[in-house]
């Protein structure tokens, strides 16, 4: 899926939670969730990322049993309705990830970078599936209390390399490890901007890179926008910049707009590389 950069991949966000920061409560029934997955597939999503726990700033952890109750029926239904679509499980817990993979998911997205439940790495190796390792300073409950870095790009890069090495030692194949600098997860506004300005520093590590800037609060502050749903254009800008920097995967709420941004930026990048 990630070894060759044929074109950027779009991961559509499907939160089956009551309290996610942007779309909580919209897709809590299986029927609503499947319809949204179908809409995202039509709009150009390559992957659907299904999560049963909000990771917004200040959120509380959700027990594994409740996450499983929320996500497994949705994964089974989406896999049945859209058999060719890749499905990712958004969780930090190996118990949830295993139930999701058995239900039809084929990828793991771990916002703790494999530190929340180290067994998740061995699980990904056993199932031989890709895993996203994201950087976060602290937990969702506390991550925005007082984040601080001396030099955010270098520090995040170093931590992601350590997490990747741990994943390799757990038996995960190198080409199945995806790194995510964690925009908005324990970061100040300037930290997010610095990371976006230096995405190439993460691409240079040799692993596929994912960007998850969709509707993030720091862009609202820049644009004087309060509602996350009004940050579609701002998000598409980050997608285009990410494509030009070599990012391979984009996790977004608004698939159609970001598919267009990625496709145009990719055509420009290919034109530049062909000269």
For 58-69, write each residue's pLDDT tens digit. Answer: 667 899 999 999
Nearest alpha carbon to residue 92 among 57, 63, 129: 63
Which residues carry out catalysis?
A: 216, 251
CB atoms within 10 A of CB 273: 7
CA-to-CA distance for 180 and 167, rounded, in angstroms?
A: 14
Q: Residue 88: beta bridge partners?
A: 49
Tell me, yes or no, if the pTM score tops 0.95: no
Check: CB of residue 56 under 8 Å from CB of residue 140.
yes
Q: Collect the ranges in the chain with pLDDT lower than 50.
A: 3, 20
The conformational region for residue 215 under phi > 0 = left, psi -120 to 50 = alpha, else beta, is left
Q: Residue 9: beta bridge partners?
A: 249
Residues in the chain: 275
Which residues 6+ apart lie within 8 Å of 257 measured at CB?
Answer: 232, 233, 235, 236
In the chain, where the domains are located: 9-274
Give the DSSP H/E element, type plus range, for residue 80: helix 64-81
Task: Report pLDDT for 1.
Answer: 57
End-to-end CA separation in angstroms for the chain = 27
Q: Using the structure block, give the residue that is written with the tokens 């609202």.
A: 220
Task: Report pLDDT for 22.
Answer: 52
Check: CB of residue 89 under 8 Å from CB of residue 29.
no
The conformational region for residue 113 under phi > 0 = left, psi -120 to 50 = alpha, else beta, is left
Positions of E strands within the chain: 9-15, 47-51, 86-90, 108-110, 131-134, 177-180, 210-211, 249-252
3-state secondary structure 90-151: ECCCHHHHHHHHHHCCCCEEECCCCCCCCHHHHHHHHHCCCEEEECCCCCCCCCCCCCCCCC
- In Å, what is the CA distance from 159 to each residue of 28, 112, 115, 189? 34, 11, 11, 20
Q: Residue 132: beta bridge partners?
A: 109, 178
Q: What is the pLDDT of residues 73-120, one digit of tens each?
A: 999 999 999 999 999 999 999 999 999 999 999 999 999 999 999 999
Task: Report pLDDT for 3.
Answer: 47
CA-to-CA distance for 247 and 272, rounded, in angstroms?
A: 16
Task: Report pLDDT for 275.
Answer: 78
Architecture per CATH, 9-274: Alpha-Beta Barrel (3.20)
Check: CB of residue 94 under 8 Å from CB of residue 54.
no
């Amino acid at each position: 899926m990630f070894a060759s950069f044929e074109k950027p991949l779009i991961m559509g966000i499907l939160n089956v939670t009551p309290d996610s920061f942007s779309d909580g409560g919209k897709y809590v029934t299986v029927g609503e969730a499947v319809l949204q997955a179908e809409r995202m597939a039509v709009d150009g999503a390559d992957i659907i990322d299904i999560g049963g726990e909000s990771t917004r700033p200040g959120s509380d952890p959700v027990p594994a049993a409740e996450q499983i109750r929320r996500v497994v029926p949705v994964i089974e239904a989406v896999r049945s309705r859209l058999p060719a679509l890749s499905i990712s499980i958004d969780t930090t817990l190996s118990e949830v990830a295993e139930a999701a993979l058995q239900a039809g998911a084929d990828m793991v997205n771990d916002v703790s970078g494999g530190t929340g439940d180290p067994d998740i790495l061995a699980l990904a190796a056993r199932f031989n599936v890709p895993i996203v390792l994201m950087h976060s300073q602290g937990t969702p409950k506390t991550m925005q209390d007082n984040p601080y870095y001396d030099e955010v790009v270098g520090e995040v890069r170093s931590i992601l390399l350590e997490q990747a090495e741990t994943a390799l030692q757990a038996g995960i194949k190198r080409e199945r490890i995806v790194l995510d600098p964690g925009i908005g997860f324990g970061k100040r506004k300037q930290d997010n901007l610095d990371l976006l300005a230096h995405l190439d520093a993460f691409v240079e590590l040799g692993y596929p890179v994912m960007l998850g800037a969709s509707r993030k609060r720091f862009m609202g502050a820049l644009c004087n926008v309060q509602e996350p749903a009004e940050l579609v254009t701002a998000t598409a800008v980050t997608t285009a910049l990410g494509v030009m920097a070599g990012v391979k995967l984009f996790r977004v709420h608004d698939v159609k707009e970001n598919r267009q941004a990625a496709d145009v930026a990719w055509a420009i990048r290919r034109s530049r590389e062909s000269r």
